[in-house]
Structure 1
Amino acid sequence: MTTDGNFPQDVQELIGYFADAGERRSVRAITAEGTHVPVWILGSSLYGAQLAAHLGLPYSFASHFHPRCSTRRFTPIAVSSALPNSCESRI
C-alpha cells in the first residue's frame, strides 16, 4: 500500500486519543480517553479502502463524492448494528 502523506499516522494518532490512558503523550484528550470511539474510514477511492483494511477499520464508500464511480467491485457482507444506514463491504 502506498502512503498518502501522513494520513495513516494521523488516523492512528486519532485512535490513540480514544484509547485507555497510560501512554505518555504530549497531547491528551482527557474527556475522550478510554471511550474507544469506533473510527471509520470514509473514502471514495481504493486507497481509503486499502487503508481501512490495513488498519482493521470499518470502511464506508462515499459514492456521493464520485457519483459516476462504479460500486460493482464492492460486495456487501453484513449490515452494521453500529450505524443504521451503513454496511461493511469487501473489495
Structure 2
Amino acid sequence: MIQIIKGPDYLCAKFPEGQPYHCEDDGIYVRDSEILRRLGLKVSDVLPWREVERRIRLNVVPGDIAVVCETCSWRSYGFCEEGVEGVIESNGLRKVLPSGTD
C-alpha cells in the first residue's frame, strides 16, 4: 500500500547534500497535481501500488513526461519515461540499489 502525500517524500530525503534543493519548488507541485489528475488520484489517497500501475497503463504514455515535466531538470536523464514504459510493459520500476553498491 502507498499513500499519496503533498510535499517532499522519501526520494527527496535522499537528495545529495551540497546540491540546490528543489523538492519544494512550486513547479513540482504543479507537475504533481497534473499527474494526480491524470491518474484520478488525490492527496491522502491510500491504495495498492498495483492500482497505481494500472492507472498509469490506462492514462499515461512515456511522451507525457516531456509535456507535464517540460521544465524539470531531471527530465533529461530519461528515468521517468523509462519508468512509465516499464509500467506499461508490466515490468514495473527499475530496482534502485542503495548508494555505495553496484
- TM-score after normalising by structure 2: 0.28
- TM-score after normalising by structure 1: 0.30
Give the number of the structure whose residues are more often strand, by fraction.
1
Give the number of the structure whose residues are more often helix, by fraction.
2
Q: Report which structure shows greater RCO (CA 8 Å, sep ≥6).
A: 2
